[in-house]
Amino acid sequence: MKKFYIMIMTAMLFATVSCDELADELFEKQVLFARNGLVEKDVELVDENSISMDVSVSISGTSVLAEDVSFTIEEFPDTLADLNKNLFDDDVEDYYTLLPDAAYSFSSYTGVVKVGDEYGLVPYTVDWTKLDMYQDYILPLKIKSTSNYNVAEANASTLLLNFQFKNSFSGSYSLNALKDGNSIQQGGIDVNALNVNSCYIELPLIGNEAQTFIVQVNSDNSVEVSSKNDSVVEIVMIDEGTLLDEVNVYKKTEGMTELDIAFKYKTADETDYKVFEGAFVSVDEED
């Protein structure tokens, strides 16, 4: 996933009307997404394939609804194409990926904001097992039509859901390590979820180019490390280190998560192994 997240600031445009026209209304009622623009959607991975979620649609304005308002949403890939072009231009490798049709399902694209409610929900499911978890996915949606009132301006009636998949030890970590005897202290390292029990980490183990290694946490909190591409980088676990008292373990204490890892590695054309030993530490953010 990307090491930075980009937010699009959206403005809700309302047309004012006079008190003579609508005594109880300060703003024209419009139908819009409760959250709109580019929205990060945190998704906790589970053992089951499908994860259930909702899209929320609301009505702007100040007066109470006099009647139920139904609405229809639809996929709108053009907004993703525009976003990628505007943000990254020709840097195609940085583009967000369109969530594939096979990986999500809406039982219905219609919903209702009922009298007395603040919003209406449209449920959907995402099957994370059908995704390449190394990609950064977006589901682009827009409000297509409503039974009453106008659809809001495009900046409020379009939604780009950017899925951020999580597990119990994914997140942003700081690192205190030795790489072939050289000390490394680095913050802001992303540990990205692959499934319920595994994550991947990118580090420049060889030269300045980042290599990807996979960390699996077992039921006994022991840790196993492998290379994403073992034909390029071979990894062999080691059971002791000089920096850490205990290696290849996952530790969870109040307010802190720690991955203590040690392994040796080499490229396919090297004969001698280098050694990596490091403590990845994530401190929980206070509310």
- In whole angstroms, give the CA distance from residue 127 to residue 49: 5
Residue 58 carries which side chain, given as an amino acid letter?
S
pLDDT tens digit sequence for 236-264: 999 998 999 999 999 998 889 999 999 99
User: In angstroms, what CA-CA distances link 225 with 162, 242, 260?
Assistant: 28, 18, 11
pLDDT tens digit sequence for 139-179: 999 999 999 999 999 999 999 999 999 999 999 999 999 99
Instruction: Evaluate whether 30 touches 148 at the Cβ level (below 8 Å).
Output: no
Report the predicted TM-score, pTM, of the whole model to 2 decimal places.
0.84
Is residue 286 over pLDDT 60?
no
Q: Which domains does the chain have, with CATH numbers?
A: 30-166 (2.60.40.1740), 171-283 (2.40.128)
Which of 125, 99, 76, 93 lies closest to 210 in space, CA to CA?
A: 93
Residue 144 carries which side chain, given as an amino acid letter?
K
